[in-house]
Chain A
Amino acid sequence: MSLPDMQPDEITGEYQEHTLTYHDQSSRRIFVTEIETPYPDGHLIVSRTNPEGYITHLNDSFVEMSGYSRQELINAPHYILRHPDMPAAAFQDLWQTVTSGKKWNGYVKNLRKDGGFYWVYATVIPNIRKNSVVSYTSVRRKPARKKIEHYASLYKTMLSSEHSA
């Protein structure tokens, strides 16, 4: 299943157009604004995917923060949230860690349906039953501002070296 292109009438504010190509070779047009939605205090954004990274479970905070409806998210690939400012290496590290059975932690800038973004501190774990991975669970929480600043600049550097490579 490939994701539909983002539509200009769904975007809030001034935007820039990009085309993202995902690991499964599908691609879509996205629109990106500079509008940040602050992470709400005391919330946890929770989701679970199947082993291929398609969303099977999510909570209300996920719906609220992403701007998508529950129907749009269920069975969608988790890369629906991928923001063009995120370097590929961050997600490679995520997948390498969880497929080897370990817990991954990291700071992630996510893309909203309205073109805006929100930063999270994410944990992803593989759910192992009878020695095989049956799903992955992720929980995001509110990151410290200083950490966001640090990772925003680190990811910029990583991204420019990925582009020049």
Chain B
Amino acid sequence: MKYHFTVSPDFTPEHIPGWFIFNTWMQKALSEVIHLELYDNFESQRKAIQSNEIDIIYANPYDAAFLVREKKFAPLVKPTGKSDEAIIAVHESSPFTCVEDLQPGTRISRTDDPDVNMMSMIMLEPAELDKQNTQSCTRDTYILVAKDLIQGNADIGFFLAEAFHDLSKLVRTQMRALVSSHIRIISHSLLVGPRMQPLTDTLLTALTDMSSSSPAVLESLGFDGWTLINEEEMEFMIDLMDTLE
């Protein structure tokens, strides 16, 4: 049987080769053929999931509820010590020093990353800003969001914290974080679909051994290792996402 693997489209571009290396590693570990398909955006990825084309996914927490509840995916692991956090950034010389300084009409630049956008909109609530009284522009990448801030096309930008810190120093130093999230519970995770679940035990063993057996593969992904996720923990994260939706 040939399986299909995909990765949440919000991965940092530097890690694309890393995901191909990981897929090669996974094929060896399982002695199975797995095709890695990368989608440009969340919508096309969701369509593929919807039509049962995906067997294993490194998923955005926003999609976890749908994958687990509707598509019967099982959570396996998450990257050790990493959680999804959002940063709202401004131009380095922006007059704004805290969220409450922002006014209705604020221009937002962002990507289509659903969990980052959700967390960021929540962080705007203390300023009584919402979808109705702000203007949003959706960009394909975080680099383009940064560009909008630097060129003065937007007042604030929404970033995945990791993506913000991964920007080149030249770009990053022209911006400043206005507010950062500290949620800690929300993270990406690796989930397996029904067709591939017979391979779960073999895969889990290989994944948990990875930091000693294949540290270079992990390094190419920018991870320190994998941490097991139990069902309980996954349910808590899904409940949290449901609550925020």
Question: Could you list which residues of chain A lie within 8 angstroms of chain B, going by C-beta atoms?
Answer: 40-44, 46, 48, 57, 59-61, 103, 121, 123-125, 127, 135, 137-139, 141-147
Range of interface residues on B (Cβ < 8 Å):
20 to 34
Closest CB in chain B relative to A107 CB, distance in Å? 12
Residue B242 is within 8 A (CB to CB) of chain A in the complex: yes
The answer to whether B236 touches A42, judged by C-beta atoms less than 8 angstroms apart, is no
The answer to whether A143 touches B125, judged by C-beta atoms less than 8 angstroms apart, is yes
The answer to whether B182 touches A46, judged by C-beta atoms less than 8 angstroms apart, is no
The answer to whether B183 touches A138, judged by C-beta atoms less than 8 angstroms apart, is no
Contacts of B244 in A (CB 8 A): 123, 139
Q: How many angstroms between the C-alpha atoms of A143 and B100 in the bound complex?
A: 11
Q: How many angstroms between the C-alpha atoms of A57 and B98 in the bound complex?
A: 31
Closest CB in chain B relative to A139 CB, distance in Å? 5
Q: Which of B99, B125, B181, B185 contacts A46 (CB 8 A)?
A: B185
Residue B240 is within 8 A (CB to CB) of chain A in the complex: yes
Given A125-B243, A139-B240, A139-B244: A144 in contact with B123 (beta carbons within 8 A):
no
Question: Could you list which residues of chain B lie within 8 angstroms of chain A, going by C-beta atoms?
Answer: 86, 98-100, 122-123, 125-128, 179-185, 235-236, 239-240, 242-244
The answer to whether A125 touches B242, judged by C-beta atoms less than 8 angstroms apart, is yes
The answer to whether A144 touches B126, judged by C-beta atoms less than 8 angstroms apart, is yes
Contacts of B242 in A (CB 8 A): 125, 127, 137
Closest CB in chain A relative to B119 CB, distance in Å? 8
Q: How many angstroms between the C-alpha atoms of A145 and B184 in the bound complex?
A: 25
Contacts of A138 in B (CB 8 A): 243
The answer to whether B239 touches A137, judged by C-beta atoms less than 8 angstroms apart, is yes
Q: Which of B128, B182, B240, B243 contacts A42 (CB 8 A)?
A: B182
The answer to whether B243 touches A123, judged by C-beta atoms less than 8 angstroms apart, is yes
Contacts of A147 in B (CB 8 A): 128
Given A41-B123, A141-B125, A143-B126: A57 in contact with B236 (beta carbons within 8 A):
yes
Contacts of B235 in A (CB 8 A): 127
Q: How many angstroms between the C-alpha atoms of A127 and B126 in the bound complex?
A: 27
Chain A residue nearest in CB terms to B232: A57
Given A123-B243, A145-B100: A42 in contact with B125 (beta carbons within 8 A):
no
Contacts of A142 in B (CB 8 A): 123, 125-126
